[in-house]
Amino acid sequence: MRLKGGKEQEVKQVPSLALATVLMCCLAFSQTQDKKPVRTSKAEQQVMALNRAWADAVTKGDAAALNRLFADDIIVTSGSGEIRNKAGEIKDAADVPDPDFIWTRPFTTESVQVKIYKDAAVVTGLAKWGFKYKGQDVNQERRYTHMYVKQRGRWRIVAQQISSNLYKKS
């Protein structure tokens, strides 16, 4: 480029790709700043509370709590593939404790996700628990899915699927 006085000066140009990258980064940053935290609805909060109540009831062997949480026509598919009804699931989860069974880690849930569909909800998560049976330590992890339906104003579990956690990180 020739400047006044006849001197030539080299003009450095910013490559268009670099400029585009900087602009895209600025745009992306400004968009992330505008996002508001996701709020959970009242229904999601209710279902999450029931999910915690389910885990507590299993740890405590609380048949009355499970009876309130489960719909009368619940369908349960156990980790072994066994199909159970309400009475069968309550018996399995809250029967008279086996004297050889001792909880070593309470039944807890994590990675819980809730999706609400009007008067229905799907909950997925990871359940973990530990116990000692006849002197043997056992630690369990299972993926689960619950289907809730709002019946007469109350959320109830109508379906439960428990699966082995095949993707367990060692």
Q: Evaluate if residue 28 carries a pLDDT over 50.
A: no
Specify the length of the chain in residues: 170
Band of residue 165 on the pLDDT scale cut at 50, 70, 90:
low
Domain layout of the chain by residue ranges: 4-33, 42-164
Lowest average pLDDT, out of 24-33, 55-64, 135-144, goes to 24-33
Rounded to whole angstroms, how far apart are CA atoms 167 and 170?
Answer: 9
Q: pLDDT at position 24, please?
A: 45
130 Cβ contact list (under 8 Å, min separation 6): 103, 104, 105, 137, 138, 139, 140
Tens of pLDDT, residue by residue over 78-95, are 988 999 999 999 998 888
Tens of pLDDT, residue by residue over 121-153, are 999 999 999 998 898 998 889 999 999 999 999
Tens of pLDDT, residue by residue over 96-109, are 778 888 888 888 99
In CATH terms, 42-164 corresponds, of 3.10.450.50, 3.90.25.10, 3.90.550.10, 3.40.30.10, to 3.10.450.50
Q: pLDDT at position 36, please?
A: 52
Q: Name the residue type at position 169.
A: K
Quick one: what percent of the chain has pLDDT higher than 70? 74
